[in-house]
């Protein structure tokens, strides 16, 4: 399990979510992009769900959509 996000990392992740939402994309996708950018190591679906305090189903769907768009 990765370490909890620092306040600065949490702010960056939230900012990515806001940016994605501002441009009409799903907020969760922005949160995931931000999360992956602040983590030095790969994350499992469980890790992402825990760090974002979200359920795995929507995260899995969002990750598939992000991967499909490249």
**pTM of full prediction above 0.85:** yes
Q: What percent of the chain has pLDDT over 90?
A: 91
- DSSP letter string, the chain: -PPPPPHHHHHHHHHHHHHHHHTTS-HHHHHHHHHHHH-SS---HHHHHHHHT--HHHHHHHHHHHHHH-
pLDDT at 70: 85
For 13-46, the pLDDT digits (tens) are 999 999 999 999 999 999 999 999 999 999 999 9
Structure tokens at 56: 């795995």
Task: Provide the mean pLDDT of the chain.
Answer: 96
């Amino acid at each position: 399990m990765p370490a909890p996000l620092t306040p600065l990392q949490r702010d960056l992740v939230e900012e990515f979510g806001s940016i994605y939402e501002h441009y009409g994309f799903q907020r969760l996708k922005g949160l995931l992009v931000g999360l992956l950018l602040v983590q030095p190591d790969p994350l499992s679906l469980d890790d992402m769900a825990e760090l974002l305090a979200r359920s795995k189903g929507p995260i899995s769907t969002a990750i598939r959509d992000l991967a499909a768009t490249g």
